[in-house]
């Protein structure tokens, strides 16, 4: 098949979160299965450090009654492994951030991604991209299925194109004032409660859900959660109406980048067979780097992520305070940035309890690798989590995940129970309530096994490290869905 993947970000070109990781890895996995894959995204400022060449193809689009011009650039990124086209329009995309600056969304975000949506569809014609499937991702591309269904379906070369729309996080919906409908170029008759309107606003995520030929999200459990309240964030009825073409596919990970046997960022390389020595080397190196006492016996608990309440870091901060204040012999290593209040509280904890708490308020891919490799336990207390990737990384590195039982964390972490202990399938611990009692129970349960049941701990590490969490299986599931939606009659 010929597959065009459109995304507002893709690693390593442009990244704010997990969407970039998925759209940077999935194209390569699909290509390895024998499909022709092309990736398209905006030419942000961050993309300009990568080699690219002009195509000489000019793009002209009418938005809000005026002509807007742009161009396409082409580049090949070895990590992505497929041709990449960048939609260039500097006044829209050459900015400090992808969607916002100083924590404020750009006022013209709707216009920016309307332009990008048209550019995706125009690329099929202007760049002569033979296309069977256009795979869209999140609200920034939500207009594309509507444009394809309403305008482009009858154009030569577009008749047989099907659209798949992936929801990576339903909390981000691309909601704009009703007047923004005029930017889309679509007739106002589509601004109704069944299609593009939601509570008197234009909703681009809803638009993608309604007009696409198929819908996926990033784990089976999350696909169930978003069809009811509160998981659907107001769109649960829309998704229930389309549940016959809604599927959940768990994300994979890039097993070349996240490989403890070859990881260039960690001190001691290791496999399942050599885990004991390698993880100890990584642990001691992490303690040394974070100015913690180098002690092989003390349990190290790692956290990596955005410092937000959605990610449960307010609970983590309270837990760290209680454990440190009680004098419990545990070390905590945290990497992340976000809520200034949480950042300041963590700095205070690290200052007050410097022998037990170390924090780095920033983003660092290198340090993330080192924390995941060197920790004994990885804590992920998200209140909701569509899929999650860091718990998958921790499994790969023999670091036991302790997670809140939500979304994709349920699909990827097999809880320690009497049954899973007996059949040796447990690879982590899940706690059911996103509160201080729940998170405390989860960590205490993990510490009990770590301290008192070393054989069970080792078995859980082995189970996690030997799981197939590569993109190969996930990519094949996407191919199966591409084939299904190609048989679905085009919708108007």
Rounded to 5°, angle at Cα 288 from 388 and 277: 70
Are both 204 and 314 inside the same structural domain? Answer: no
| Residue 176 banded pLDDT, cuts 50, 70, 90 | very high
pLDDT in tens, 269-320: 999 999 999 999 999 999 999 999 999 999 999 999 999 999 999 999 999 9
- On whether both 229 and 331 belong to a single domain, the answer is no
Q: Mean of the pLDDT values across residues 98-115? A: 95
Q: Same domain for 230 and 290?
A: no
**Across 323-333, average pLDDT:** 97
pLDDT of the residue at 398:
98
pLDDT in tens, 117-165: 999 999 999 999 999 999 999 999 999 999 999 999 989 999 999 999 9
Would you say residue 99 lies in a domain? yes
pTM reported for the whole predicted model: 0.92
pLDDT band at 470 (very low <50, low <70, confident <90, very high): very high
Domain-located, residue 305:
yes
Write out pLDDT tens, residues 197-216. Answer: 999 999 999 999 999 999 99
Could you give the strand order of the β-sheet that contains 197-198, starting from the edge strand earlier in sequence? 175-177, 201-203, 197-198
Give all strands (DSSP E) within 155-239, no chain letters.
162-167, 175-177, 197-198, 201-203, 214-217
Q: What is the separation of C-alpha 275 from the centre of its chain, rounded to a whole number of angstroms?
A: 28
Do residues 328 and 463 share a domain?
yes
Name the residue with tokens 């013209």.
108
Contacts of 488 (CB under 8 A, 6+ apart): 162, 213, 214, 245
> How far apart are alpha carbons 394 and 400 in whole angstroms?
7
Residue 244 lies in a domain: yes
Spatial distance between the Cα atoms of 482 and 164, rounded to a whole number of angstroms: 7
Q: Are 303 and 188 part of one and the same domain?
A: no
Residue 490's pLDDT is 52
* Peptide bond between residue 12 and the one before it cis (omega within 30 degrees of 0): yes
Contact 431, 402 (CB under 8 A): yes
**Same domain, yes or no, for 424 and 446?**
yes
Backbone angles phi, psi at 200, to 5 degrees: 65, 20
Query: Average of pLDDT values for 415-434?
Result: 98
Query: CATH code at 427?
Result: 3.40.50.2000
Tell me: do 232 and 302 sit in the same domain: no
pLDDT score at 297 = 95
What is the model's pLDDT at position 385?
95
Please, what is the average pLDDT of the chain?
96
In a domain, 492, yes or no: no
Beta-bridged to residue 135, according to DSSP, are 5, 164
Residue 336 domain boundaries: 275-467
Strand boundaries in 421-484, DSSP class E: 429-431
CA dist 117 and 179 (Å) reads 18
**Would 264 be classed as within a structural domain?**
no
Residue with tokens 């301290």: 451
CB 358 within 8 A of CB 283: no
450 and 482 part of one domain: no
Give the neighbor-by-neighbor strand order of the sheet with 133-137.
53-63, 66-76, 83-88, 36-42, 2-6, 133-137, 162-167, 214-217, 246-248
d(CA 292, CA 458): 25
Percent of the chain exceeding pLDDT 70 equals 99
Cis ω for the linkage preceding 45 (within 30 of 0): no
* Band of pLDDT at residue 254, cut at 50, 70 and 90: confident
127 and 226 share one domain: yes
Q: Where are the beta strands (DSSP E) in 199-255?
A: 201-203, 214-217, 246-248
Is 204 within 8 Å of 113 (Cβ atoms)? yes
Supply the pLDDT for residue 17: 84
Specify whether 245 is located in the same domain as 329: no
In angstroms, the CA 377 to CA 409 distance is 15
Q: How confident is the model at residue 79 (pLDDT cuts 50, 70, 90)?
A: confident
What CA–CA distances, in Å, run from 432 to 193, 227, 382, 385, 410?
35, 20, 11, 13, 10
152 in a structural domain = yes
Alpha helices by DSSP H, 226-301: 236-241, 275-289
Could you give the C-alpha distances from 165 to 180, 205, 222, 245, 421, in angstroms and in order? 22, 9, 15, 10, 38
Would you state the structure tokens that stand for residue 239, as one six-digit string?
């998704």
Which two three-digit tokens encode residue 8? 């507002």
Same domain, 334 and 447: yes
Q: Do the domain assignments include residue 378?
A: yes
**Tokens 């234009």 -> residue:** 202
Q: H-helix or E-strand containing 441?
A: helix 436-452
Q: Is residue 257 part of a domain?
A: no
* Domain count across the chain: 2
Judged on CB neighbours under 10 Å (0-12, 13-18, 19+), 233 is: middle
**Domain match, 61 and 138 both:** yes
User: Within the chain, what is the greatest distance between any pair of CA atoms?
Assistant: 71
* Predicted local confidence at residue 58, as pLDDT: 97
């Amino acid at each position: 098949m010929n597959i065009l993947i459109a995304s507002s970000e893709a690693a390593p070109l442009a990244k704010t979160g997990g969407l970039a990781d998925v759209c940077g890895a999935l194209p390569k996995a699909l290509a390895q299965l024998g499909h022709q894959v092309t990736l398209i995204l905006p030419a942000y400022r961050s993309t300009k450090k990568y080699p690219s060449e002009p195509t000489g193809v000019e793009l002209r689009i009418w938005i809000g009654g005026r002509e807007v011009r742009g161009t396409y650039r082409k580049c090949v990124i070895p990590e992505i492994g497929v041709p990449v086209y960048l939609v260039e329009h500097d006044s829209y995309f050459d900015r400090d951030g992808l969607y916002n600056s100083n924590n404020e969304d750009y006022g013209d975000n709707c216009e920016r991604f309307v332009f990008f949506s048209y550019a995706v569809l125009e690329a099929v014609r202007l760049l002569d991209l033979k296309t069977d499937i256009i795979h869209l991702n999140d609200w920034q591309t939500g207009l594309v299925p509507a444009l394809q269904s309403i305008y482009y379906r009858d154009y030569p070369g577009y008749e047989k194109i099907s659209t798949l729309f992936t929801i990576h996080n339903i909390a981000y919906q691309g909601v704009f004032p009703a007047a923004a409908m005029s930017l889309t170029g679509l007739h106002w008759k589509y601004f109704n409660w069944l299609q593009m309107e939601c509570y008197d606003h234009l909703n681009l995520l809803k638009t993608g859900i309604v007009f696409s030929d198929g819908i996926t999200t990033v784990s089976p459990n999350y696909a169930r959660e978003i069809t009811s309240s509160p998981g659907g964030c107001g769109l649960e009825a829309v998704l229930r109406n389309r549940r016959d073409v809604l599927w959940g596919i768990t994300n994979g990970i890039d097993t070349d980048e996240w490989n403890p046997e070859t990881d260039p960022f960690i001190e001691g390389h290791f496999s399942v067979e050599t885990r004991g020595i390698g993880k100890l080397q990584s642990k001691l190196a992490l303690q040394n780097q974070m100015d913690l006492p180098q002690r092989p016996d003390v349990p190290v608990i790692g956290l990596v992520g955005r410092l937000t309440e959605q990610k449960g870091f307010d609970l983590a901060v309270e837990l760290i305070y209680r454990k440190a204040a009680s004098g419990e012999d545990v070390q905590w290593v945290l990497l992340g940035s976000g809520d200034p209040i949480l950042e300041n509280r963590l700095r205070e904890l690290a200052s007050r309890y410097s022998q037990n708490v170390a924090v780095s308020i920033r983003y660092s891919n290198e340090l993330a690798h080192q924390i995941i490799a060197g920790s004994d336990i990885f804590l992920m207390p998200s209140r909701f989590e569509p899929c999650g990737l860091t718990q998958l990384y921790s499994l790969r590195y023999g670091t036991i995940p302790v997670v809140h039982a939500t979304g994709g964390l349920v699909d990827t972490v097999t809880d320690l129970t009497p049954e899973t202990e007996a059949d040796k399938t447990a690879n982590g611990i899940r706690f059911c309530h996103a509160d201080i009692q729940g998170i405390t129970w989860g960590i205490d349960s993990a510490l009990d096994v770590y301290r008192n049941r070393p054989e069970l701990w080792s078995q859980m590490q082995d189970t996690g490290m030997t799981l197939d969490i590569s993109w190969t299986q996930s990519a094949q599931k996407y191919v199966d869905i591409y084939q299904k939606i190609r048989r679905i009659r085009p919708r108007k």
